[in-house]
Structure 1
Amino acid sequence: MSTIKTEDGTEIYYKDWGTGQPIVFSHGWPLSGDDWDNQMLFFLHKGYRVIAHDRRGHGRSSQTWTGNDMDTYADDLAALTESLNLKDAIHVGHSTGGGEVARYLGRHGSKRVARAVLIGAVPPIMLKTAANPGGLPIDVFDGIRAGVAGNRAEFYRDITMPFYGYNRPGANISEGIRQHWWLQGMMGGVKAHYDCVKAFSETDFTEDLKKIDVPTLVMHGDDDQIVPIGASAMLSAKLLKKPTLKVYPGLPHGMCATHSDLVNADLLAWIQNG
């Protein structure tokens, strides 16, 4: 397996295929780089170099019990990009991975980055606070933690329904997609997954978004039941310096899987034409 070792000894697994301009994919919670399989094959065939890592505590990376926070995730991503000496890279982040990309750019700058993409992403902040009245109450995230700490296998199976919009009337349910999500989730470490709930829900990315100085595409389904669009994409687009906002009517949080052809085509068009 291809891995790098971070300063604290954590092994980060990654896939690195092809040549050309690099596209780096950061996955959502509690998944792995395999969640990007469709996008990686698509862009590989379009002549891009595609890279996806498993966040610490997720997938095939070390099952860490410390460092499960956004600063460390961003530093791990920086270590990967530096180890591979990536230049002019396009960073694509989904959900928690969108927070990782935002914090990476806010913390390490854009010297190695040409563009960024936030898909169904958690910034600016998911938690409801006095300054963020449109966020979700802490009870929602306490419930996720309880599910992870209790019957994680059952909880991960159940959450795929709203994740992909399969709980909507008339939804075309793919059991394969649901099982793929479950398998990725169960590969990771329970302690890291538990800690990551705080990281993706309570981290405030406002200042990170303001620092991002490369063109940034914000893609979000307006029927996203996991990261509601009103408190995420709509606010992020106002904070970014060079935003392009694309809203997908009726699409769910997991639209990269349920509507991959549409997402891939739009992402390619924006990369090529701006």
Structure 2
Amino acid sequence: MKPIPLSKAPIDAAQRKAIKPVLCYPVETLPRPDIGAYRAVREGLKHVRTVVVPARDAATFTVPAGSFFRIVSTEGPQVGDLNLFNQHDLSERFYTGKTRALNGTHLGVGDQLFSSFPSLRPMATITHDTLDWYGFDEFGGSVHDVIGTRCDPYTHNLLSGGGQYHHCCHSNLTRALSASTGLALHDAEPHVHDVLNVFMCTGFTRDTGQYFMKASPVQPGDYLEFFAEIDLLGCLSACPGGDCSAEHSSDTAKCYPLLVEIYEAAQRPEGWVAPVVSGYDRTHGVGV
């Protein structure tokens, strides 16, 4: 519960609160993908490999630019935490904050996942979602959010009074990235970043504004599909919270594996070109 305000409301409080909001980022000029062109090439997809993400653990995978990949629910309801990197440069990685600012709190078909500064370009485009029927529920919850960070051992330690839990998503992603790249564990950890919470159902409470989770609607066979805009290194954790209906960072939830299926397209979407890095000159006003 938020504390009672200590300051007396000013006489014009109602007028101040009644001011209409303004969108931070008007996106009318944001280049949008031709989702019809992307979907037109889905019919000829060729499955090339599958990566199994064990329950309560993580795995990495690579996807060439122009290919598709799916995150698939298998044996039961399970959410996943996704990190994405430029396969050739780990410093270019998924930027949840800017993706949220440009697309909204929860992602769906046609939304693009943007990379970090200074590149700021689409890394992947969502092309299909078997949970797109969910929308927003009566609590303000929806799926595939870019508002949560990832469950981690530091917050767990803080809230539990010193507990040590090693299979939360942050640690899972760190171990998997270390094993994949050959980086030492402590060198790999700084590359792990805020995630796309795949299949997770989340929102904010209306009274206190707190981040909430509820049982994911995902069922075996559901999947979220992406088109790789650049060569990608993905890292996916099968969250120890299972469907996140009760808690995460524990061994009590029922958890299941996830699959990552990579597909080769017979042709590129009509008109598609690989996204270039940001055109900003990076002088930051010096010498101008």
Q: Same fold (TM over 0.5)?
A: no
Larger radius of gyration: 2
Q: What's the TM-score bracket when you normalise by the shorter of the two chains?
A: under 0.3
Higher relative CO (Cα under 8 Å, sequence separation at least 6) belongs to 2
The structure where strand makes up a greater share of residues is: 2
TM-score for the superposition, normalised by structure 2:
0.27
The structure where helix makes up a greater share of residues is: 1
TM-score for the superposition, normalised by structure 1:
0.28
